[in-house]
Amino acid sequence: MIAQIPEFGFSVVGLLSGIVNYSYYILFGFIIANILFSWFPGYPSSTVMQSIYDAVRAVAMPILSPIRERIPMLRIGGFGLDLSPIIAIIGLLIARRLLLLVIENFIEPVTG
C-alpha cells in the first residue's frame, strides 16, 4: 500500500484570487474612507489624522480624479453630489469579477 504524501505549498489560482480579492477590498476601503473624510472639509489638526488623511487621498485620488474630470457633479438644489466614488466602486466590482473569471477559466486549467 502506498502512503499518501500531503501536499504542501500553495495553489497558483488561490494565490491570484486572493490577491485580486484583497486588492479590491483595500481599494474599496480607501474609497469609503475618502468619502468619509470629504464630509469633514477641515484639514485634520492631529499629526496622526493628517498622516491617515494624506495616505487615504494618495491612494483614492488617482482612482477618483480621472472620473471627476469626465463626469461633473450632479447639482441637486443647493448642493452637489459627487458620483465618482459610485462609478469607481462599480468599476472595481466589474474589474474584480473579470479578473476572477480569467483566473478561473484560463489559469486554473493550465496550473491545475
Per DSSP (E only), the strands in 44-95 are 74-76, 79-81
13: in domain:
no
User: Could you tell me the pTM of the whole model?
Assistant: 0.83
- The CA-based dihedral angle spanning residues 30, 48, 42, 54, taken in that order and rounded to the nearest 10 degrees: -40
1: in domain:
no
20: in domain:
no
Domain count for the chain, please give it.
1
Residue 30: closest CA among 73, 64, 66: 64
Compute CA distances 111 → 6, 15, 20, 62, 105, whole Å.
Answer: 18, 12, 17, 34, 11
Range of the domain at 90: 34-111
47: in domain:
yes
What pLDDT is attached to residue 110?
Answer: 86
Residue pLDDT tens, the chain, 112 long: 555 555 667 788 889 999 999 999 999 999 999 999 888 777 777 888 888 989 999 999 999 999 999 998 888 888 888 899 999 999 999 999 999 999 999 988 888 6
